[in-house]
Structure 1
Amino acid sequence: MNGKPFPSQAILITGASGGIGAAIAERFAKSGLNIILHYRQSHEQVNEVARACMAHGARVLTVSADLRDKSQVERMKEKLENHQLLPDILVNNAGVSHYGLLADVSEEEWDEVMSVNLKGTFLCTQAFMPHMVSQRYGRIINVSSVWGITGASCEVLYSTTKGGINAFTKALAKELAPSEVTVNAIAPGAVQTAMLSRFDESELAGIRDDIPAGRLALPEEIASLVYFLSLPESGYINGQIISPNGAWLT
């Protein structure tokens, strides 16, 4: 294995232009993996992530696709096939948040969040899991949320999509386990990313006060858990929803 835990493997990270996605990419770049960075529109930001990964000596490919559109997901797969870079590890990280009363949610907002968070995860997984099954090895890691476990007032739509991802994870793990492909989800608590930008400093202070650890999670801490679940020796961890949340919700 040349001293590396992931010899000649490739990882695809969706929504890799910032926050948790960027942290995951850099963590794996340090281990010598081939890094595939998906983005939708954030071209400049994803190029910054790519440069950071290449600084660690990783081979990096960026791919753009609207994950709500099956034809674009299929074109992304064709591009990776042409580069001989079908992923052995898939991290379904792309997602959007929504905050507001359910009574105020429009049908268009409902469809948008469902399409990005749930349909995008489904389409990417469906596209790339056959490669893993055929080689009898693979890791699928879905980025969920603690609200997918407990639900959150004024985040009913977002909580619903993340709860769906958790059920998707558990069911697919049973389906793919005989092929030695694991499927797990990470359901973080409050993480220090742009997704919390809607809260002002006093609101963030209130969130921190509610967390026994007394702080928000760093994206790098979530990336470390993704890395651990991806290791070859983590193959018996399957169908799990793991929530790093500083003992906020247990």
Structure 2
Amino acid sequence: MKILVTGASRGIGLAICKELHNQGHQIIGLCRNINEKVLDVWHRDVSCNSELYSVDISNEREVQQFIEKVLEPKGYPDALINNAGITNDSFFHKMEWKQWSDVIDINLKSLFLITQPIYKQMIKNKFGRIINISSINGQKGQAGQTNYSAAKAGVHGFTMALAQEGARSNITVNTLSPGYTETDMIKHINPELLNTIRNSIPVKRFALPEEIAKAVNFLVNESSGYITGANVPVNGGLFIN
């Protein structure tokens, strides 16, 4: 299976690429910036035979160029993992418009831009797997993250609606909502607060990126074709709904 993964250069995205490659899939990775260090890590952890492209998926022109120059001549993916995401935290009364719009653009606007052309091809192929990476904070909300929480809640709304449309074409659409995970994103949290968060998780630890990747692999599998419109939580019991 050919699989496209956004936010592929590090953290959860890189772990997803590695896991899916190890399962025998062909990987197309997208990330905003590529440098020598990123390429070294990609080639070490994924494969020099996989493809990594620099694309700002919140930019309509860049996405269209990628579609025209890469996917149209080389072939569209069978599965899409919408993983790219950013945070830009602030209490709402202090939040600037750019903090709001940047997070909405990367986390939510990009779903339309990258998914629609791929989804159209999936309809023609009568098969597809779309997995959207949301967050525990899209389920429960988080103070200081009105922008991020709104975007990630929107991700699952997108999933539920598109799942109903895609089902007739054998296209499943699901959300995966990780809890706190050992990535660069949590390194910016105050260590004392981080310890408090860890102690509040029933399993008393953060997720490993590889654990999120394993859950993605389960949903990508052709045998998971009866699961669609679901929101799969991987949060150690921190939020149970």
Deviates more, 1:192-201 or 1:142-151: 192-201
Q: Within 5 Å, give how 1:1-250 maps onto structure 2.
A: 9-47=1-39, 48-54=41-47, 59-81=49-71, 84-250=74-240
Looking at structure 1, the residues matched to 38 and 128 of structure 2 have their Cα atoms a distance apart, in angstroms, of 25
3-state DSSP of counterpart to 2:234? coil
* Closer, same or farther: CA 51–185 of 1 in aligned 2, 3 Å: same
Deviations 1:46-78 (A, max 9, x none): 4122332127xxx31111111111111111112
For 1:88, the aligned partner's letter is D
Q: What is the CA–CA distance in structure 1 between the aligned matches of 2:154 and 2:178, rounded to whole Å? A: 15
Whole-Å separation in 1 of the counterparts to 2:16 and 2:123: 24
The DSSP-based 3-state class of the residue aligned with 1:62 is strand
TM-score (norm 2): 0.95
The percentage of counterpart residues that share the same residue type is 38
> Which secondary structure state, in structure 2, belongs to the residue aligned with residue 177 of structure 1?
helix
SS in 2 for 1:249: coil
Cα distance in 2 between the residues matched to 1:66 and 1:34: 21
Query: What SS does the aligned partner of 1:157 have?
Result: helix
- Local SS of the residue matching 1:246: coil
Q: Distance in 2 between matches of 1:113 and 1:36?
A: 24
TM-score, normalised via structure 1 length: 0.92
Q: CA separation of 1:75/1:167 partners in 2, compared to 1, >3 Å: closer, same or farther?
A: same
- Count of matched residue pairs: 239
- Give CA deviations for 1:77-121 in whole Å, capped at 9, x if unaligned: 123335524111100001101222001111111111111111111
Q: Which runs of 4+ in 1 moved over 6 A?
A: none
